[in-house]
Chain A
Amino acid sequence: MKKALSARFFASVVQEQLETSDQWRPTASLAALQRRALLLRTVRQFFDERGFLEVETPVISADTVVDRHIEPFSTGVPAEVGKPPRRMWLQTSPEFAMKRLLAAGAEAIYQIGRVFRLGERGRQHNPEFTMVEWYRRGDDYAQGMSLLAELAEHIFGCGTVERMTYAEAFSCRLGLDPHRAGIAELREAARRRGIAWPESMEESGDRDDWLDLLLTECVQPHLGVGRPTIVYDYPASQCALARVRTDDPPVAERFELFAEGIELANGYHELCDPNELRRRNEQINRRRRADGKDALPERSRLLRAMEAGLPECTGAALGFDRLLMVLCQAATIDEVIAFPFERA
């Protein structure tokens, strides 16, 4: 039976939005905040014991990571009061500054800091969040992955972390090869599983958009269930700042950690070639413009540092709040953050 409830339903939704009287309250319980403090100590201890140096780098910088799908907050900062402002960026990750430290001779460094990503708000996203990021000079791909596995095993107190390639993850869930499947095959896989996709993807979606859709909807929910999983060897088209290994097909030496279907960390066997960085920045900005987004600065002090010589290294960045979510079995990131964006 159809019920004429819409007007009341509508009223209740509006009322919920207007109820702001408790907006001063934290969304996390005190128990969750205690867990947060404890986890911060555990993470620091893990890296300190392994001889890593804790560093702090600027939150506001003239440089920003050039990424197709990450929007930085920007702000106009005058050199002096009264002078015209220049555009500066809140960091989406401390990647650039930390690599400059490596190029200047740092051996093994980690940072626990705040990062900012415009428009990212959901059950697992807050535009301001805490990131743990680390790099170790001389680490190759396998060593970098092992360090992440060791951290996960230490924090979760679990057995050996599961490892699988990006291709294995797709093949086991969808029976397709993510490196070779064309758009038509990827779209058909989504259709067969009843996945809704944005209409705009029909005209403008590229292979990576379709891979992301299938990853988000079909693959990721099963990753790291029961015990954490590291997925590695990403498509070369999703290399970001990782090295690309010239296999057939070529793959990015990039790895990610998942637990209970939640993406926790992303690591690279780091790109050290400044010319390749220049080429990628140009390419990413081309794709950003095609997506209707502003281009981001291609020149940076990281580029200078890489010209001076960035040693071989592997690094990773871990979403601290999400890690806490998994440990607290929280359904939303708000349960582990004192004051999320709307109450900030």
Chain B
Amino acid sequence: MATYNTSEFRKGLKVQLDGDPYLMIQCDFVKPGKGQALYKCKLKNLIRNTVIDRTYKSGDSIEAADIEEIEAQFLYRQQDQFVFMDTESYEQYELTAEQVDEAWKYLKEGMVCSILLFNNRPIAMTPPNHVVLRVEYCEPGARGNTATNVTKPVRVETGGEFQCPVFVEIGDLIKIDTRTGEYIERVKE
């Protein structure tokens, strides 16, 4: 099993602790001139998204994690399973509703997303930064009102709901930033 020695520690290292994959998001080297070196690390659990603090001394090592990021197309949803297909190998991967979490609101058939594999099993999914979705239902807005600071809830084709300016109407295509969940603009067909 491959390991990383403290001399290889750096931000971005993918490691394995107690069977879980972690990303090293911070590593501070501290050392008294004549004393022992310590590596104070912050490690992010890539499954649970929790962050833990661990301290190591020179010569310690951590097991490397086999982590890969692939591009995959969203195929369909079957109850709590979201099925994706690797755009290169055509291999299919299933993610749980828990792994997909809030991102289900953006998923349209054929959308290319990024999937994180740990030991060849999917652990997390990220949609594209921007997605375009069709408005399925909303209350009618006052015609001619182009103010963007007044918003209303809008339901889109995926079933997800977003806050949009009041001028948005049923049938419109809207662009959403998936990192914030915020409306960006209306898109022409």
Interface residues of chain A, those whose CB is within 8 Å of chain B, are: 1-11, 13-14, 16-17, 67-70, 119-125, 196-201, 208-209, 212-213, 215-216, 220, 238, 240, 256, 263, 266, 291-293, 319
Contact = CB atoms under 8 A, between A and B. Distances in A.
Interface in B41-62: 44, 46, 48-49, 53-60
Contacts of A17: 11-12
Contacts of A4: 49, 99-103, 124-126
A8 B179 contact: yes
A246 B52 CA distance: 45
A166 B126 CA distance: 52
Given A7-B124, A16-B12, A216 B101 contact: no
Given A199-B60, A200-B56, 4 more contacts: A6-B46, A70-B34, A197-B55, A208-B36
Interface size class of B (residues with CB under 8 A): 35 or more
B101 A119 contact: no
B133 interface: no
B29 interface: yes
Interface in B94-145: 99-103, 114-116, 123-126
B12 A14 contact: yes
B59 to A, nearest CB: 6
A9 B40 contact: no
A293 B59 CA distance: 9
Contact of A7 (B28, B35, B53, B115): B115
Interface string B155-173: 0000000000000000000
A69 B7 CA distance: 14
A69 B114 contact: no
Interface of B: 7, 11-12, 14, 23, 25, 28-38, 40, 44, 46, 48-49, 53-60, 67, 69, 99-103, 114-116, 123-126, 179
Contacts of A209: 36, 57
B23 A10 contact: yes
Contacts of B40: 196
B126 A7 contact: yes
Shortest Cβ-Cβ A-B pairs, 8 listed: A122-B29, A7-B126, A212-B35, A4-B101, A13-B12, A8-B126, A6-B124, A7-B116
A240 B29 contact: no
Contact of A10 (B29, B56, B57, B69): B69
17 contacts: A6-B49, A6-B126, A7-B114, A7-B115, A11-B126, A13-B12, A120-B31, A122-B30, A125-B29, A198-B38, A198-B60, A199-B60, A208-B35, A209-B57, A216-B31, A263-B33, A291-B59
